[in-house]
């Protein structure tokens, strides 16, 4: 791949702009993705935080559910934050009726596990694959990971709960690095897109 990968941000709902800025700061060409034709043109994709039930509905409406599932299966690197993490789980513990995910990580997530909007918090999180100081984890109605399959690498925990994981080409965090101005997690993802951060090497 050339040195500057093109990384899309799924732009159906959620904090799209913040991810576009963080990806550009991490040396990717970043662009919003709303249509299957746009999905076909990116080397990697970020699924932002927002509301997973809304993202699920809009993805079906925009004809993106199947094309996106197919690209994840084909090995396209994908990174989901918060609602994006939920969208990448093979299973949701407490889904709304009809709520679908793209899947990609053999895990079960619990939505809103850390509490409601007014219980949002920040915490220092030590994350495997991110050198130096802990990352500032911003948790907003965040999910946690209840359980993972054998192929899932746990990258971070907070309060005894799994909050960052990777399975092969798919990365997910309960928290929102795009809101902190610290672009190291996006840097890790861009390295995955470039093919320079192999699974198990973190
Ligand atoms: N900040 C977020 O992305 C919140 C996620 C939200 N609780 C959901 O279930 O989708």
ipTM confidence:
0.93
Ligand 1 center from residue 105 Cα (angstroms) = 17
Token pair for 50: 């927002």
pLDDT at position 200, please?
A: 63
pLDDT at position 196, please?
A: 78
Report pLDDT digits (tens) over 91-124. Answer: 999 999 999 999 999 999 999 999 988 889 999 9
pLDDT at position 33, please?
A: 98
Q: What angle do CA 180, 156, 126 make, to 5 degrees?
A: 60
pLDDT at position 180, please?
A: 97
Q: What is the pTM of this model?
A: 0.95
Catalytic positions: 82, 176, 178
Ligand 1 center from residue 52 Cα (angstroms) = 6
pLDDT at position 43, please?
A: 97
Give the residue ranges of the chain where pLDDT is below 50: none
Q: Residue 115 — left, alpha, or beta (φ > 0 → left; ψ -120 to 50 → alpha)?
A: left
- Which residue lies with its CA nearest to atom 5 of ligand 1? 83
Pocket of ligand 1 (CB under 6 A): 49-52, 82-83, 86, 111-112, 140-141
Token pair for 36: 């299957």
């Amino acid at each position: 791949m050339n040195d500057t990968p093109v990384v899309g941000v799924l732009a159906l709902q959620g904090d799209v702009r913040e991810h576009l800025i963080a990806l550009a700061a991490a040396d990717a060409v970043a662009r919003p993705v709303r249509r299957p034709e746009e999905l076909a043109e990116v080397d990697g994709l970020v699924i932002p935080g927002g509301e997973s039930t809304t993202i699920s509905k809009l993805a079906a409406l925009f004809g993106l559910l199947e094309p996106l599932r197919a690209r994840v299966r084909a090995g396209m690197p994908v990174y989901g934050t918060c609602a994006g993490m939920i969208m990448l789980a093979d299973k949701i513990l407490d889904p709304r009726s009809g709520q679908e995910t793209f899947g990609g990580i053999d895990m079960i997530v619990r939505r809103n596990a850390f509490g409601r909007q007014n219980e949002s918090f920040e915490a220092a999180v030590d994350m495997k694959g991110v050198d130096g100081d802990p990352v500032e984890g911003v948790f907003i109605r965040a999910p946690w990971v209840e359980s993972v399959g054998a192929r899932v690498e746990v990258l971070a925990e907070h309060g005894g709960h799994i909050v960052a994981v990777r399975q092969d080409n798919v990365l997910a965090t309960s928290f929102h690095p795009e809101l902190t101005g610290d672009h190291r997690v996006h840097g890790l993802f861009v390295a995955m897109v470039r093919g320079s951060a192999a699974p198990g090497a973190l």
